[in-house]
Structure 1
Amino acid sequence: MAILYTTKSTATGGGRSGRATTADGVLDVTLTVPKEIGGDGATGTNPEQLFATGYAACFLGALHFVAGKEKVKLSGDTTITASVGIGPRDDGTGFGIEVSLVASLPDLDRDVAEKLVAAAHIVCPYSHAMRTSTEVEVTLA
């Protein structure tokens, strides 16, 4: 695969509590643990929120891509809402995530909208990674 763009983000601190920044400094967030999984509810974000945001934006981009190929105009009110949940895996060896997407394509015929959403699910790299269990290289610095 020819890589067209690469970015880097570094997390520091306690992992789920600390800070994360991108190499270019554009994203700089405070990380906090949600109350639901033992945190104090402090102001900040968490990996699940960041994943949901990235997935929703990426899927919306994929939807615009496939709509353009099909010569279909999407409304400016088109939205993708991603839900990401975390919990212990049934095998007891760690944690897993559960992801769902809801697409709203106002002003489009339902059949057309369903075809576009199905095509976007094939095109979107987040969807592809989730569907294929993409391997992740992990190394020690």
Structure 2
Amino acid sequence: MNEEQMKKDLGGGAVFETGDPNTAFAQYFIGQSYLKMLTTEGVGIGNVTFEPGCRNNWHIHHKGGQILLCTGGRGYYQEWGKEPQELHAGDVVNIPPEVKHWHGAAKDSWFQHLAVEVPAEGGSNEWLEEVSDEEYNKLK
């Protein structure tokens, strides 16, 4: 982990603790991510940190959705069939249930967001295919 570059990209440092390497979900990410669960009571909120170039696979939140609260760096969010959105600190992304999407860092910047899981009875996540290098490399 290049902490100096991370602090620069995240505006002086992480708002919340970066956490440990995200080994539990590593199979669903290209590149290195870090996870620090801030709470699991009531509403799960995790601080997810992406090294430059890191992104998660396409996935769907069934029944419940997800809210991303961007806290630092530069990243992207994309819904299936739509253009990618560039994300910066202060951006909020409301992801409805049943929407196929991915999110992650820009090639040249660390990125961090709080992932808020919208509670729903019987809610689950379905992890899908990787975001291809060809697709990802089209981003600026």
TM-score by length of 1: 0.21
Return the structure number with greater helix share. 1
TM-score by length of 2: 0.21
User: Which structure has the higher relative contact order (CA within 8 Å, separation 6+)?
Assistant: 2
Larger Rg: 1
Return the structure number with greater strand share. 2
